[in-house]
């Protein structure tokens, strides 16, 4: 088990409440852990997946595996990191040319199966999949970044070998198709939805999602919700439509009142999209990944929960906030600041129980920390 800061102990400077340290830089023979994603299994286990960046904090291409930590006690303690997706020296290339990154986790509540997807780059040293020829049109492993998935049927204890979904999912002309880091969702009718992202046939970024009605045996892609957007999160609204909440590259320059997350809604699984009323302006961002989940309160009200570095300029002020009107408004009274400092700013939310939110994020004090927030603290 890793070291923790337990309730009642002094709060870590800069962190607004007790926190469990999942990984500090250099621990477990790993330089840096990044890109967290978290979900709660059918039996209540919390699973956190993330990049194990062994040599440095650098993105792909590098020696990176997808790691896992499990918690059976609501996040109080966590198992030590271990790799669950490792392409080793595939194709005779060194590990630093077989990196896997940007995990997404999704649980099928009907059977407990856990899906973890990630993007794999083979060869292409010195490149990045979002830039230039780090990923190119085509299907081959020497051409384009690959969409991999592993599964577990025993609560995350053991995992399958990676399955390559690239040819089934990616259009050949696209420069990239990859999971969006974070979590997928299961709808009331059993449909599985996983947020995704890519670069189109012109190499331009887009955000969308894929969905399955046969427990992950086959997947269907929705159309791009927006261009010049990347990492995204999906949640169901009270009427059953789906809200896609997107990192928007335009916010690199836009620091005005229109800075904010891009928001689009679909009622037909991504065949068509409409712009949400709170698009650009309601949820400020410094251009960073964020997390969003939905939850039904004890009194039957539907709530959206969102986390990100709430700042236009820097990845600082990690905040959880809530909306009770399908994301139209995000009142200050439904907001909790977690970390006033600057970090890398990626986060992932999951319900620990019916009244407790869990969050894992890249903090100002450690690579990855875990904290809990009671819904009552958000005024819910």
56-60: long-range contacts, CB 8 A cutoff, minimum separation 24: 56/31, 56/32, 57/25, 57/31, 57/32, 59/101, 59/128, 60/99, 60/101, 60/119, 60/121, 60/127, 60/128, 60/129, 60/134, 60/145
Nearest to 289 by CA among 338, 335, 341, 233: 233
Whether the Cβ atoms of residue 98 and residue 104 lie closer than 8 Å to each other: no
Catalytic residue from among 62, 231, 285, 362: 231
Residues 162, 140: Cα–Cα separation, whole Å: 16
Active site residue 231: yes
What does the DSSP 8-state code read for residue 168?
H
Report yes or no: 379 and 333 within 8 Å, Cβ to Cβ: yes
Residues forming the active site: 231
């Amino acid at each position: 088990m890793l070291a923790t800061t337990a309730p009642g102990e002094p709060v870590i400077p800069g962190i607004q409440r007790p926190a469990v340290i999942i990984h500090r830089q250099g621990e477990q023979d790993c330089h840096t852990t990044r890109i967290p994603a978290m979900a709660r299994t059918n039996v209540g286990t919390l699973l956190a997946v993330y990049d194990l960046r062994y040599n440095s904090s650098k993105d792909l291409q590098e020696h990176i595996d997808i790691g896992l930590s499990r918690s059976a006690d609501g996040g109080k303690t966590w198992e030590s990191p271990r790799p669950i997706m490792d392409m080793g020296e595939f194709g005779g290339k060194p590990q630093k040319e077989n990196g896997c990154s940007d995990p997404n986790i999704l649980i099928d509540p009907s059977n407990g199966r856990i899906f973890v997807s990630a993007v794999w780059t083979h060869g292409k040293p010195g490149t990045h999949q979002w830039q230039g020829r780090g990923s190119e049109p085509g299907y081959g492993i020497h051409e384009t970044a690959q969409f991999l998935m592993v599964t577990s049927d025993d609560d995350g204890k053991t995992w399958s070998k990676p399955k390559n979904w690239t040819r089934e999912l990616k259009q050949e002309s696209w420069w990239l198709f990859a999971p969006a880091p974070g979590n997928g969702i299961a709808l009331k009718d059993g449909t599985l939805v996983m947020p995704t992202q890519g670069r189109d046939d012109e190499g331009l970024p887009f955000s969308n999602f894929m969905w399955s009605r046969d427990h992950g045996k086959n997947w269907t892609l929705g159309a791009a919700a927006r261009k010049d957007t990347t990492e995204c999160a999906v949640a169901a609204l009270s009427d059953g439509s789906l809200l896609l909440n997107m990192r928007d590259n335009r916010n690199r320059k836009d620091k005005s009142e229109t800075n904010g997350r891009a928001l689009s809604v679909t009622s037909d699984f991504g065949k068509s999209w409409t712009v949400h009323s709170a698009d650009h302006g309601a949820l400020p961002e410094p251009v960073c990944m964020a997390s969003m989940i939905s939850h039904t309160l004890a009194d039957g009200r539907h709530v959206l929960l969102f986390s990100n570095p709430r700042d236009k300029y820097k990845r600082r002020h990690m905040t959880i906030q809530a909306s009770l009107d399908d994301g139209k408004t995000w009142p200050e009274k439904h907001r909790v600041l977690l970390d006033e400092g600057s970090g890398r700013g990626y986060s992932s939310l999951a319900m620990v129980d019916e009244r407790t939110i869990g969050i894992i994020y890249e903090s100002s004090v450690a690579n990855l920390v875990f904290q809990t927030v009671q819904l009552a603290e958000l005024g819910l």
